């Protein structure tokens, strides 16, 4: 029984990436997107190889990659297979998957000109992305394979820290030519107002400013504007310092967790496991704090822009329109129709057929009709004499109703 729900590729909202084609297998283990980004065509693939040896998987992957072999390609995912038995496994030997899958993977990389970009940047490093609790080994089975044409565009490829799951995140950063990023407006970091230490610092800065500048100018407006600029600069400095300290602590914990995992692999005794769990708990606390901050900013945006005709509302309307949009239908002939005009024509034919009666039982019914003389009398103008005659024919004691 297979437990996978299918792989996916998530794209950041607002990214100028136009997907033109999608390829996938029947089992949901392979997904390939052909897209245009900044005027350049590229193919992005995400895979999840079977946990048990399956010689047909890499054959299916190879056949799908042949359709995008002319494009720069990035393939990422869980390959459930290592490339180097010495460098990609914490303990040599120990069973493992069939070597046939490994040879199939190497043959795939050779045929499509793909490079294991992390190993290319770290030739002799011993880092791993998966821990097997049952076998007590760690392996590097999560990889990014890139076309040789993209190797020069790779800025970095790093293995993260296993803080939550049994797999480690793998980050790939590509240098892509983009336009200049627009500088956003400054907003006060509200979390500074919830810390007693920061509150005391803000009071001291404000008091020092007033002691130095009060009485130096005649206009209170000038003093107020100068005070806002001073406090804004101090708020920015405090936020930057807080962010640097948080990032520094997170990086320190990530390095400490990596060292503890190596120490635990060599000697799983003593206080190593306890220290490892404590470090992971503290790192998870930092991650949760970042998620809470992001959620707070999202709620602020919804509250501020929820009832206004702006960018936020336009995005919500666009999502609703996309949800109602019919991107493709299956025609009666069995072919897939994706052109909007053809989709509209297919719906027109469907409803014409739906509301067309198959029984012509009314065609043989003789309906009564009036003669030409009767039609002329009905169409004749109403004269004053006819109105007076109608009034005379009404019963007495009748008045027009006010309604």
What pLDDT digit, counting tens, does each position of 213-241 carry?
A: 888 888 888 888 888 888 888 888 988 88
Long-range pairs for 249-256 at CB < 8 Å and ≥24 separation?
249/286, 250/283, 250/286, 253/161, 253/279, 253/282, 253/283, 253/286, 254/160, 254/161, 254/283
pLDDT at 179: 46
Confidence label for 44 from pLDDT (cuts 50, 70 and 90): very high
Overall average pLDDT of the 6-10 stretch: 89
Q: In terms of residues, how long is the chain?
A: 403
For residue 57 the two structure tokens come to: 């998987």
For residue 190 the two structure tokens come to: 């509200």
133-to-120, 265, 374 alpha-carbon distances in Å: 28, 11, 98
Instruction: Give the C-alpha separation, 72 to 113, whole Å.
Output: 10
Question: What is the average pLDDT score of the chain?
Answer: 82
Identify each DSSP E strand in 49-206 by its residue range: 73-78, 114-116, 130-132, 137-139, 142-147, 154-159, 170-174
pLDDT tens digits, one per residue of 49-79: 988 888 789 999 999 999 898 889 999 999 9
Predicted model pTM = 0.50
Span of 42-51, 178-187, 354-363 with lowest mean pLDDT: 178-187
Instruction: Give the C-alpha separation, 319 to 323, whole Å.
Output: 6
pLDDT at 37: 82
Instruction: Give the C-alpha separation, 5 to 7, whole Å.
Output: 7
Coil/strand/helix, residue 165: coil
CB under 8 Å to 332, separation ≥6 — which residues?
A: none
CA 135 to chain centre: 35
């Amino acid at each position: 029984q297979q437990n996978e729900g299918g792989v996916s590729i998530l794209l950041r909202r607002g990214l100028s990436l136009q997907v033109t084609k999608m390829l996938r297998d029947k089992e949901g283990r392979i997904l390939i997107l052909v897209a245009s980004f900044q005027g350049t065509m590229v193919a992005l693939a995400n895979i999840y190889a079977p946990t048990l040896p399956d010689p047909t998987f890499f054959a299916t992957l190879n056949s799908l990659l042949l359709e995008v072999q002319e494009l720069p390609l990035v393939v990422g995912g869980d390959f459930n297979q290592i490339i180097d038995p010495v460098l990609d496994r914490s303990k040599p030997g120990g069973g493992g998957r069939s070597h046939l899958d490994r040879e199939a993977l190497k043959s795939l990389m050779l045929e499509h000109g793909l490079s294991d970009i992390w190993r290319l940047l770290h030739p002799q490093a011993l880092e791993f992305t998966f821990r097997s609790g049952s076998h007590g080994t760690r392996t590097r089975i999560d990889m990014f394979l890139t076309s040789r044409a993209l190797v020069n565009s790779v800025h970095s490829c790093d293995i993260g820290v296993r803080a939550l799951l049994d797999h480690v995140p793998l980050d790939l950063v590509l240098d892509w030519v983009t336009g200049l990023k627009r500088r956003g407006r400054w907003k006060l970091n509200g979390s500074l107002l919830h810390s007693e230490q920061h509150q005391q610092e803000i009071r001291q800065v404000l008091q020092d400013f007033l002691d130095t500048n009060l009485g130096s100018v005649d206009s209170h407006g000038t003093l107020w504007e100068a005070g806002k600029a001073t406090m804004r600069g101090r708020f920015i400095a405090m936020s930057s310092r807080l962010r640097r300290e948080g990032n520094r602590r997170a990086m320190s914990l990530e390095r400490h967790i990596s060292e503890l995992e190596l120490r635990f692999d060599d000697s799983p005794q003593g206080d190593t496991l306890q220290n490892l769990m404590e470090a992971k708990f503290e790192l998870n606390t930092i991650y949760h704090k970042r998620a809470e901050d992001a959620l707070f900013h999202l709620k602020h945006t919804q509250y501020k822009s929820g009832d206004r005709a702006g960018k936020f509302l336009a995005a919500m309307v666009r999502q609703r329109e996309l949800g109602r949009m019919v991107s493709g239908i299956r025609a009666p002939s069995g072919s897939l129709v994706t052109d909007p005009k053809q989709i509209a024509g297919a719906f027109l034919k469907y409803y014409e057929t739906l509301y067309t009666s198959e029984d012509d039982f009314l065609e043989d019914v003789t309906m009564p009709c009036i003669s030409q003389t009767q039609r002329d009398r009905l169409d004749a103008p109403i004269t004053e004499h006819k109105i007076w005659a109608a009034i005379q024919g009404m019963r007495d004691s009748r008045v027009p109703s006010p309604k």
